Amino acid sequence: MLQKPPLPVRHDLADVEPYVSPQLPARVRLNTNESPYPPPSDLLDEVFAALGEQELNRYPDRDAEALTSAIARHTGWPGDGVWPANGSNEVFLHLFLAFGGPDRKVMVFEPTYSLHSLIPRITGTQVLEMPRNEDFEIDVDMAARAIRREQPAVVIVCSPNNPTGLTEPIPAIKALVEESPGLVVVDEAYGEFADPTDSAMALLAERTQVVVVRTLSKAWRLAGARIGYLLAAPSIVAAMARVRLPYHLSTFTQLVGCAALRRAAEALTVVDAIKAERDRMSVELHAMGVRSWPSKSNFVLFQTSGAGDLWQSLFDRGVLVRNYAGVRGLENCLRVTAGRPDETDAFLDAMKEVLP
């Protein structure tokens, strides 16, 4: 029998549910937007050889200077404006530890990535949830009015948005920046699957309040390594140093990140193949009479009646997708990650079997 803890959880966390992304045994796992392809084999060979030369009885480089420099070279953004961390989720945690808190607000646009609300709540930041329209787009005029009224310290935009796959138009992001009194954070975790012109990178140099967050978990095939980073004005990065834990990036993590960035062209060679499978799923779902949304990410959101039962039927056939059927704004929606061609075949074959 589970006993109550000797001290109650913080009162503002009483109704916060832990983040859950089911890791269930399945022949075909298409539920967590991971890459279906492993990283290049020579990358791992290099990392393991370099690891053997490290003094693991010593702490890692506190400032991850080599990794920070590698990110700066890859992005073309100055190193003093780069913040690496253990995945983009830790980037957001550091961001809200530094710029959130009980007397501050963050604005998010639902439906979107659930950690954009969960992480601020963990840090005691008040979350303002703005609804998207029926096409999952941000109503910029409504958002501007809400920003003027609420004065949020942080506004988060996810582009491409998870779980809808849609990008936010750059003019819309600019409009939010013009109205915002604080930071505007653009989460580009899936940016490599979209067009380069969809990126908010160009806005970084124009406005010091713009922040871009990226990750090596998706297109770079390194979800297991947990590497993400932030690009921002140096003053923002300097402030975040106040809240990080000492030596938070392990020696292994730093070696993997550097090795991957040295092989950027090779690491990203599978992006086109993944995009082809994404588009094939969209076309085939449409042919089945299933509604889906155009995606510039590595997944497709689709909607059917009885989505919860459909999810179970797919799982019974060895295909695991993400179930959003009970989520507000995503009723009867499921999300499927683009995998290898054989995994796409398995998903589509299972769909044809279970659809009425």
Domain boundary among 240, 266, 292: 266
Residues 56 and 197 in one domain: yes
Going by their DSSP bridges, the two strands 105-110 and 154-158 should be labelled as parallel
Phi/psi for 185 (5° steps) reads -105, 125
Residue type (1 letter), 123: T
- Pick the last residue of a domain from 236, 266, 296: 266
Judgement on whether residues 247 and 294 belong to the same structural domain of the protein? no
User: Would 215 be classed as within a structural domain?
Assistant: yes
Final residue belonging to a domain, choices 219, 238, 266? 266
Residues 15 and 84 in one domain: no
Residue 129 has a pLDDT of 97
Residue 100 within any structural domain of the chain: yes
pLDDT at position 280: 98
In a domain, 70, yes or no: yes
* Domain identity same for 120 and 207: yes
Q: What's the token pair of residue 21?
A: 């992304």
Task: Classify residue 210: in a domain, yes or no.
Answer: yes
Identify the domain containing residue 325 by its residue range: 11-30+270-354
What CATH number corresponds to the domain at position 101? 3.40.640.10
Q: Which two tokens stand for residue 44?
A: 């791992």
Single out the residue of 260, 255, 248 nearest to residue 218, CA to CA: 260
What is the domain-level CATH number for residue 20? Answer: 3.90.1150.10
- Domain contains 75: yes
Q: What CA–CA distance (Å, rounded) separates 254 from 139?
A: 40
Distances (CA, A) of 151 to 12, 103, 108, 133, 154: 21, 11, 13, 22, 9
Q: Per residue in 19-31, pLDDT tens? A: 887 788 999 999 9
Task: Give yes or no: residues 163 and 305 share one domain.
Answer: no
Tell whether 218 and 343 lie within a shared domain: no
Task: With a cut of 50, list the residues of the chain below it in pLDDT.
Answer: none
Q: Are 156 and 254 members of one domain?
A: yes
Nearest to 256 by CA among 89, 54, 35, 67: 67
pLDDT at 1: 64
Measured between alpha carbons, how far is 208 from 320 in angstroms, rounded to an integer? Answer: 42
Q: Are 199 and 76 members of one domain?
A: yes
Give the 3-state secondary structure of residue 1: coil
In a domain, 4, yes or no: no
Question: Encoding tokens for residue 355?
Answer: 């659809």
What is the spatial distance between Cα 312 and Cα 289, in angstroms, rounded to a whole number? 20
Residues 155 and 206 in one domain: yes
Distance between CA atoms of 32 and 30, rounded to whole angstroms?
6
Cβ–Cβ < 8 Å for 281, 295: no
pLDDT tens for each residue of 284-319? 999 999 999 999 999 999 999 999 999 999 999 999
Closest C-alpha among 144, 146, 150, 148 to residue 125: 150
Number of domains in the chain: 2
